[in-house]
Structure 1
Amino acid sequence: MIFKKYAIKKILINFVLVNIVINGFFYYFNFRNYEGPLYLQSIKGDLLFGLVMLALLCAYTGFINTQKDVLTGTFYEEDLHFKLSKYLPKTLTLRLLAVILFVSIIVYPMFITIPNLLGVNEINHTIGFLIKTGSAALAAAVIGYFVITLSISDYKNLSNKTY
């Protein structure tokens, strides 16, 4: 399979779809018995926890699985030039921390601040569910692209070294 098809399939299925289902389940589990009006404040903790767990687990499994796919030749290697790995830490722990910071600093505030700026504070369960799954989908897509390109970049840099 060509790289673009591999990347799109991997991001949509392994990152986005899985995270929509998981975060949707957690939203339902946490708010199934919630009575009364639902406010953005009510879902802030659940949203942040879900995004941090998504960043940690999604990136961790993604790094491992993508490296396996690269080594087994799951996709045809095109002339791929990813310069991302030059600017990011080399250890898995620091990379996971970078992903968690990205989600905490950029994605989470976007899904909490924008509704507040629009004057939306009281929400219903449908909107809460859409905020939770929408933020998970966006974060998973960005994380998926980051993980795939970084894993391939690492492999290419490793395979280009001469000993």
Structure 2
Amino acid sequence: MAMCLLLASCAGGPPRRVSEPAAGIQQLSVRANGSWSVDLRIENFSSIPMRFDAISLPLTLAGQPAGTLQGNAGISIGPESADVVTLAHIPGSDAKIALADALADNRGVSYSFEGTIQATPEDGKPRSFELKRNSSLNPVPGLPGVLR
């Protein structure tokens, strides 16, 4: 009888927990045509795999509106793991100028975004998560036009 109870208690497995994800800019590269390539690091804090899809993050860089980071991540991230998705971005002119000034002076810039990312838990329904981030990027020595 005791053996049956012990086996029954193990049958449930670890709890399935869905937690709010996080995201931040890992790298921003200025392309020759003035557009940006943004490497967005997405962190899955859930105890189960999640599929990340639609991204919509209005971005401010150096206090200037820089447009909305949009795209479809189209990636699955394992439990308590992270991955990077690259988004092409055409920034607003004020943000483009502010970034060019910062790069010319070899100084960092602050950035912030507040928006949503859609994620679907394994065997679950899609959910929209609110994301908010305030951070900064600094020029990478030896890589012109790249900030991390």
- Give the alignment's TM-score, normalised by structure 2: 0.29
Q: Which has the larger radius of gyration?
A: 2
**Greater fraction of residues in strand:** 2
- Give the alignment's TM-score, normalised by structure 1: 0.27
Q: Which has the higher contact order (CA 8 A, sep 6+)?
A: 1
